[in-house]
Amino acid sequence: MNLFCPDYIFKNVVCITPEFLRGQGIRALVLDVDNTLAAHDSQELAPGVREWLEAMRAAGIEMRISSNNVAARVRPFAHKVGLPFVSFSLKPLSRGLRIVRRALGVDKAQMALVGDQIFTDTLAAKLYGVRMLMVEPLAQDIKWNIRAKRVLERPFIAAYYKKGGKLHG
């Protein structure tokens, strides 16, 4: 198992459908915020995300936010979208994922993490034993350390495609 290779890559979060999730036996999603649901440090949802969240709710998909960011950043965003959250999740450690899974009461096989980074989100999902649904970043990264990590992510994304993975959406 490659700890740095996502299970699936999607163009963006709205390309993840309830039908896809049902086909994988996934009943619950753990959602990252920055560059997944909104641009980095933004409180505004990316286009189509509000409707996507409603479609997921209507399909019975349970959702929680898990972010490495502080509560002051995550709380207003989570309130705006009406989802419970865990801030300071410590990804790639399992803290946030454990808290969310306990709250949802699902098996690991029924849960997936949705995020945009290899070294936090993908590694966290793999170490915890849940599937990783990676999305392409919504916007240009504004922090130098994330821009540097994007360069280091390239070989792992290439490995995903080399093993037969495809871009969904």
Residue pLDDT, tens place only, 16-44: 999 999 999 999 999 999 899 998 878 88
Return d(Cα 157, Cα 108) in angstroms, integer.
24
Residue pLDDT, tens place only, 65-114: 999 999 999 999 999 999 999 999 999 999 999 999 999 999 999 999 99
DSSP 30-80: EE--BTTTBSTT--SBPTTHHHHHHHHHHTT-EEEEE-SS-HHHHHHHHHH
Residue pLDDT, tens place only, 136-153: 998 777 777 788 888 899
- 3 state SS of 131: strand
Token couple for 52: 């996507």
What's the N-to-C CA distance of the chain in angstroms?
A: 25
